[in-house]
Amino acid sequence: MSLVPEKVITYRVYNDGNDLVGTADVQLPKLAPMSDTVKGAGIAGEVDSPTLGHYQSMSLTINWRTLTSNCLSLAGQRAYDLDLRAAIQIFDSGSGSYVPTPLKVSVRGIPKSCDLGKLDIGSAGDASTELEVIYIKILIDGKKKVEIDKYNYIAIINGEDYLLAVRTALGLA
């Protein structure tokens, strides 16, 4: 039996529990650890060494078909809590059936930009909202796979808490 993740069936975006309508698509953040080059005696060359549990700036971009009040509602200078809920289509080759599987991405973000888009007859307006993500949690089929909380020293990936020892060292755990 093989489970083959195929595609997103559909998704919805919620801001503090209210459905945001009119999104075209969402570009999720990239998880890229902060790093620094290590070189010197005992190392044959250079190593780009990641900093444990620390991530570079993470951006989430919401693309809108046209300028809407929902787009503008995310322009205020404060943090917003968004839930992105999707149904992922997985093909079960053993049973020959499709299995819709829930994906939930929760983020807390601060607006970086609000692109008002363009006005062009008969065309999409291509407005967008970009948020700086300070918290992200990803659940697949109800199981927590990722939780990163930059202000609370949390970096959990596949059940491993990479900053637990750091929080302990700082007297936070």
CATH of the domain at 79: 2.30.110
pTM: 0.93
Domain assignment present for 160 = no
**Is the model's pLDDT at 19 over the cut of 90?**
no
What is the tally of structural domains in the chain?
1
Query: What is the separation of C-alpha 115 from the centre of its chain, rounded to a whole number of angstroms?
Result: 20
Q: Helices in the chain by DSSP H: which ranges?
A: 69-73, 164-169
Domain assignment present for 80 = yes
Please compute Rg for the chain using Cα positions: 20
pLDDT digits (tens, 9 = 90+) for 116-173: 999 999 999 999 999 999 999 999 999 999 999 999 999 999 999 999 999 999 999 8
Q: How far apart are CA 24 and CA 122, in angstroms?
A: 16
Q: What average pLDDT does this structure show over 11-33?
A: 92
Domain assignment present for 165 = no
Domain assignment present for 94 = yes
Provide CB contacts within 8 A for 32, sequence distance 6+: 55, 56
Domain assignment present for 149 = no
pLDDT digits (tens, 9 = 90+) for 89-125: 999 999 999 999 999 999 999 999 999 999 999 999 9
Domain assignment present for 108 = yes
Please count the other Cβ atoms lying within 10 Å of the Cβ belonging to residue 99.
13
Domain assignment present for 151 = no
Domain assignment present for 167 = no
Provide CB contacts within 8 A for 80, sequence distance 6+: 15, 16, 74, 108, 109, 110, 111, 131
Residue 128 domain boundaries? 3-39+47-140
User: How confident is residue 22, by pLDDT bands cut at 50, 70 and 90?
Assistant: confident
